[in-house]
A and B are shown apart, each in its own frame.
Chain A
Amino acid sequence: MTAALGGAVNTIAALCEFTGGKRTFISLLFSGLSIGSIAALAALGFLLMQKATGVISFAQGDMITLGAYIAIWWMRDRDAPWLLAYVLTLVMMFGIGIVLERVAYAPLKGRSIHVVVIATLGAALVIRAIIALWQDTTPTSLFSPLKGRDPVKIGGAAIPPVKIAVFVVTLVVVAVMIAVFNRTQFGRQVRAIAADRETARMHGVAATKMSMIAFGLSTALAGLAGILIGPTQNVDLTLGFGAMLAGFSAAILGGFGSLGGVVIGGFMIGLSEQIVGGYCLSEYKSAFPYVLMLIVIAVRPQGLFSRGAAHGRL
């Protein structure tokens, strides 16, 4: 047994190459945190919507893309200052989330959850087509006041300020979300709906209002992810897709349970890709988060951070 374990460790170690010292590690760590942050934000969007409505919306990825494009539109076509553009984008995304709820979810209430999930996929394609017609498909760029700033030197590693900002903003958003979920009546109502929709309604929780707010908030979260990831990439129609996959995996890792769980799931996604993938089998590193997710599904189907059986719907 011990020998077998030792053999396995040796085999794994043989696939890894620990070079570059502290500088490499710190660089990979910040890349992992920044990718993990975006995954965590996307996962929060999934979780919030799932809690309030039971629906997993695959329109989240295209909502991330849409958020970036709306911010570009405010700055480039409407000449809005960047901060105002960001705020207006989040407000618009909130409204778009409510429209999505009315158009793709509300009319399908009472139908199988699969039908609703397919409807969100349809909505995703429609959003993508609308962006293509509105902003065309040429890759473009989103301004950030931090773009092009000199990198911050940490332990010899050059960390671009954009990555640090992504991480910090995500931590703040997560803290606010945790407070909202645990300390406000809205948060308790959402959790009550997630736990037992009918009973919550029997106690006066307005399910429709909750689901509209939840769609609005999770779409605004997607918009925020778009604003944060946009300046680090070329913005095109595929911008949000990878982030959505990472966020979905993060939510699975966290078991669609607690907020903290899916956020930790997000950071595990980012860090496993960048740090594990950075040292071991780096040509396969983009597969690592999904391998991790599959292992978790196989070993602990309820997710890593879920208490016992899943209490929510789905």
Chain B
Amino acid sequence: MLEIEDLVVSYGAVEAVRGVSLSVGAGEVVGLLGPNGAGKTSTLRAASGLVSYGGSVRFEGKEVSRLGVEKAAKAGLIHVPEGRHIFPTLTVHENLQVGATARAGRADGYSFEEVYALFPALAGMRDRGGWALSGGEQQMVAVGRALVAAPRLLMLDEPSLGLAPIVVKAVFRALRKIAERTPVLLVEQNTVMALKLCHRAAVLSGGRVVLSGTAAELSDRSAILDSYLGQERVHDAEAEHLKA
């Protein structure tokens, strides 16, 4: 489905991604984990054709840089950007309608009604302006807008960022349902949530893949994972236990 090989992304003299290889197969849910600045978002932006890159990114056998952003989207490679990027001047429903632009006649995608069924909170606010939505509602619209395009691969960038824990749970509940129908490449900092959803994951640090494996393997090696992620140990209780 998506084959990334020796991907290099640089901004001027700064190399954000330094030789990442990664693939997502049909029916797979793959996580891309890592701390801030590890190169996750750059990898995703290269994968959807937004930035120029070295190495190769092939979507269903076609080089993404040749396709360009718009054609890659129309081919079913849909990228939900970090920060949601709802169209603020369009209503909820209009946001979904614009999302359908990339559907390009594919029959197997979500209908508007299916999206509203998946996110019942949105059903009552079809005519609300994008500028008047909460963070969680925006995330729902962003995901819904991607789904109506009948994605062949859904790429999600930090869907939990800035959301309250209860909203994060709701979003991931929806993603679990989505993942049953659609392959997903998920970029997340919330490793616990991500590993529950993904089959496989790769950990990025300093623009390189430093660790990869199945979700189960990575969960078992959470100490190493945490050290790469450079974050406070999530499992505070466990830490207390070790000290004792």
Contact = CB atoms under 8 A, between A and B. Distances in A.
Of A185, A192, A194, A204, which is in contact with the most chain B CB atoms at under 10 Å from its CB? A204
B16 interface: no
Contacts of A201: 69-70, 73
B94 interface: yes
Of A191, A202, A312, which is in contact with the most chain B CB atoms at under 10 Å from its CB? A202
A205 B98 contact: yes
Interface residues of B, number: 28
Interface string A91-108: 000000000000000000
Nearest to B74: A204
Contacts, number: 71
A213 B100 CA distance: 20
A198 B94 CA distance: 17
Interface residues of A, number: 22
Contacts of A189: 98, 101
Nearest to B99: A203
B118 to A, nearest CB: 18
Nearest to B87: A195
B87 A204 contact: no
A153 interface: no
A203 B102 contact: yes
A200 B74 CA distance: 12
Contacts of B99: 203
Contact of B87 (A185, A191, A207): A191
Interface string B117-149: 000000000000011000000000000011001
A109 interface: no
Interface string B163-201: 000000000000000000000000000000000000000
Given A189-B101, A192-B98, A311-B131, A204 B89 contact: no
Interface of B: 48, 50, 69-70, 73-74, 78-79, 81, 85, 87-90, 94-95, 97-99, 101-104, 130-131, 145-146, 149
Instruction: Give the 8 A-B CB pairs with smallest separation, nearest first.
Output: A204-B102, A204-B73, A199-B85, A195-B87, A204-B101, A192-B98, A204-B74, A201-B69
13 contacts: A185-B97, A188-B97, A191-B89, A195-B88, A198-B50, A201-B70, A202-B50, A202-B79, A204-B74, A204-B104, A205-B70, A307-B131, A312-B89
Given A194-B89, A203-B99, A204-B74, 18 more contacts: A185-B101, A188-B94, A191-B87, A191-B90, A195-B87, A195-B130, A196-B85, A201-B70, A202-B73, A202-B79, A203-B73, A203-B78, A203-B98, A203-B102, A205-B101, A206-B70, A311-B88, A311-B131
